[in-house]
Amino acid sequence: MTDTSKMPVIFLSHGAPSMAIEQDSLGRAFLAGLADQLPKPKAILIASPHWETSDLRLTASSSPETIHDFYGFPPALYQMLYPAKTDQGVVEEIVSLTGAVRDPNRGYDHGAWSPLYLLYPDADIPVIQLSLQSHESPEYLYALGDKLSELRDEGVLIIGSGSVTHNLRDIEWRNPSPSQWAVDFEDWFVSAIEENDHETLLAAREIAPNFNYAHPTDEHWLPLYVAMGAAKEKATLLHRGFEHKNISMAAVRFD
């Protein structure tokens, strides 16, 4: 039964696409159990760093395709599908709240479908993907989240999907020991979350240790601000730790 009480908001680190088939991954185990910690949503709105646009866009097809937007991974990943449907009523409400443009041709990229494949493997909850305007300021994305917050009252689960660290030049497959720069950055992030310190997080580019190393480009960090803006009263760390040396899997619940 769908719970239509006010929904939390989630920011999660979606990890490498291969997580969907890495049975020994702690990040995979966390994501596979996360839905049990949440009320069941009537729909999901997810922002991913893998769809960057100049204007705000929404998936609007009744059945968006699964996009395999990655290279060099095991063949099994390219056979995976996430056949979620779209709730057109929620699409229209998002358009009304934000002025977003409906995109009938866009599918779900791996920043959306790969974590949802673990959270809700039956794909029985409608999903709408939101594009990322990575050229905009943290404050703009935070305000966007605030506009979307009304959806929480209607049972819509808002997810910002990204990564707390994302330096692909400094990863090592199957290495369980993170570099000190990655640990320091995740420690800083966790401290700010435990204090629910939105001002500090919004200023990450200027004050976070090793920010430019943790995020040579910051599109994987920015979905955090959409999530933060949608729920401001409380932040709860759900998970932390690293995959492939320096990919943080930290995740947060906002209420």
Stretch 84-112: mean pLDDT, rounded? Answer: 98
Name the pairing type of β-strands 9-13 and 156-162: parallel
Residue 177's identity, in one-letter code, is: S
Q: What is the secondary structure of 32-96 as a DSSP string? A: HHHGGGSPPPSEEEEEEEEEE-SS-EEE-SSSPPBP----SS-HHHHH--------HHHHHHHHH
pLDDT at 174: 85
- Cα gap 159→89, rounded to integer Å: 18
pLDDT of 235 above 50 = yes
Q: Which residues of 234-246 are buried (b: 16+ CB within 10 A; e: fewer)?
A: ebeebbbbbbbbb
Contact 13, 217 (CB under 8 A): no
Which phi and psi angles does 219 have, rounded to 5°?
A: -65, -30
Q: Return all residues near 89 (Cβ < 8 A) that are at least 6 apart.
A: none
Domain ranges of the chain: 9-254
Q: Shortest CA distance to 80 belongs to which of 48, 121, 124, 42?
A: 121
Task: Dihedral sign for Cα 103, 254, 38, 149, please.
Answer: negative
pLDDT at 2: 46
Name the pairing type of β-strands 43-52 and 156-162: parallel
Stretch 91-117: mean pLDDT, rounded? Answer: 98
Contact 123, 82 (CB under 8 A): yes
- Cα gap 77→82, rounded to integer Å: 11
- CATH label, 9-254, candidates 3.40.830.10, 3.30.300.30, 3.40.50.10310, 3.40.50.300: 3.40.830.10
pTM (2 d.p.): 0.96
pLDDT of 4 above 50 = no
pLDDT at 20: 86
pLDDT of 69 above 50 = yes
Q: What is the mean pLDDT of the chain?
A: 96
pLDDT of 249 above 70 = yes
3-class state of residue 184 by DSSP: helix
pLDDT at 1: 38
Q: Return all residues near 74 (Cβ < 8 A) that are at least 6 apart.
A: 18, 21
pLDDT at 176: 85
pLDDT at 139: 98
Of residues 29 and 20, the one with the higher pLDDT is 29
Q: How many residues are given for the chain?
A: 255
Percentage of the residues of the chain whose pLDDT score is greater than 70: 98
